Amino acid sequence: MRLAVIGGGVVGVSTAYYLAEAGHEVALFERYGNVAQEASFGNLDLMGPSGLRLWATPGAPSRIFSMLFRPESPLAFSARFEPAMWRWLKRSMSESALSRFKQNQQRLYRLASYSQELMQHLVQTCELDFQQRNSMMIMFRTARELEMAHPYMELLGEFGSRNELLDPEAARLLEPALSTETPFHSALHVPDDWAGNCPLFVRQLKTLSQDLGVEFHFNSEIQAIRPELGGTTLQLEGRNVDVDAVVIAAGSDSVRLLKTMGISLPIYPVKVYSASMAIQEFELAPQTSLFDDTYRVGLTRLGKRIRIAGCAELGSSNLDLHHKAVNTLVKVADDWFPNAANYRAASFWCAPTAMLPEGVPLIGPTRFSNVFVNTGHGSAAWALAAGSGKLMADIITGLRTEIDTDGLTLTRYGDRMR
């Protein structure tokens, strides 16, 4: 089959790679001049699978909203009033009920652990090096936070994930540079979770995909998709391209492309922030990855740099930096590793992520037999991309998928949404 993939982020490139590996002729269209230029560019680089935390967890909405008026908070709102945002937020909050949370986290874990297996296979067979580093700790500042994390920790037990709850003394043995000025209750150590440089990996996978025959078309924005009998036409500026089928992996722009065919999905573009800086004092820098449960901000160390990321902003349609998000990242870094780097001089960055209320992506066919989606990965596509790409390729090729797709396709919304 001659297939098109729209989007050169980690999801699109993974999809193109696995489609080509399955023997298809693949062309990838990307509106920028290279791969990994949008959400896949400056992310936190955590690859899970166990540390992937949904936003909609039991108790989270009230806890997060109680922090909203502080100078530092996990969530920020821009001034724009937008009914679509409130509808999405309401729906997202309803996903934090215990039964919904468990179902969503199970689906996420199924896909994330499959992705991890595929990534390990790729690393070994293709000898990839993208600054991988193992081990992460989730920091609980208070006993109440740990208590609220119990449903998540119970699920980790059910998944068979290796983890250990550490008291501050034991946590400091693993992370000797943790500031003694910041008290905390405990830390959950997840030794098998890993981090790695996402854009570096995407560029390496691009080369592997080109070796398999994938054509990359840069500076090529798809404006609309016209599904037809027996094929699909992609509309670009000044020309049309005909293919047998198309996969939409266009991150936050997927919604607009789907609308050109009358398909509406509950994806909302949530802006997420990161900051990168050179390490100045190596002994005072983190050894592993760390996730601050209060502020939902993570820190990773990649080579000679530290990356801090988190803070979700809603209601913004531009890439301006929100002062609250910047304050939050700096506070968290200062709290845990105050002398490792000059955080105020960091380069701050943000990007829209395609977030679904459940926090679980959609991978599979739409009501048009030649149009497929691989989108809605929110703040977790790096951890989910390999599995999502392989699932997509198996579905299109008509192969039996290696994991159960229950809850991962558009059928979870019933026929109405497809």
What is the closest distance, in whole angstroms, from the C-beta atom of residue 187 to ligand FAD in the complex? 18
What is the closest distance, in whole angstroms, from the C-beta atom of residue 350 to ligand FAD in the complex? 7
Distance (Å, whole) CA 54 – CA 286: 24
What is the closest distance, in whole angstroms, from the C-beta atom of residue 299 to ligand FAD in the complex? 11
Burial class (CB in 10 A: 0-12, 13-18, 19+), 36: buried
Nearest residue to ligand FAD, by Cβ distance, number only: 9
Q: Are strands 305-314 and 297-302 parallel, antiparallel or unpaired?
A: antiparallel
Distance (Å, whole) CA 357 – CA 380: 13
What is the closest distance, in whole angstroms, from the C-beta atom of residue 333 to ligand FAD in the complex? 14
| Residue 42 or 365 with smaller CB distance to ligand FAD | 42
Residue ranges binding ligand FAD (CB under 6 A): 6-12, 29-32, 37-40, 42-46, 221-222, 249-251, 253, 257, 272-274, 309, 351, 353, 377-383
Element (H, E) at 190: strand 186-195
What is the closest distance, in whole angstroms, from the C-beta atom of residue 45 to ligand FAD in the complex? 5
What is the closest distance, in whole angstroms, from the C-beta atom of residue 111 to ligand FAD in the complex? 11
Distance (Å, whole) CA 157 – CA 165: 12
| Residue 49 or 365 with smaller CB distance to ligand FAD | 49
Residues 6+ apart with CB under 8 A from 125: none
| Residue 45 or 394 with smaller CB distance to ligand FAD | 45
| Residue 95 or 313 with smaller CB distance to ligand FAD | 313
Contact criterion met (CB below 8 Å) for 174 and 137: yes
| Residue 51 or 61 with smaller CB distance to ligand FAD | 51
Contact criterion met (CB below 8 Å) for 47 and 195: yes
| Residue 310 or 365 with smaller CB distance to ligand FAD | 310
Measure CA 23 to chain center: 28
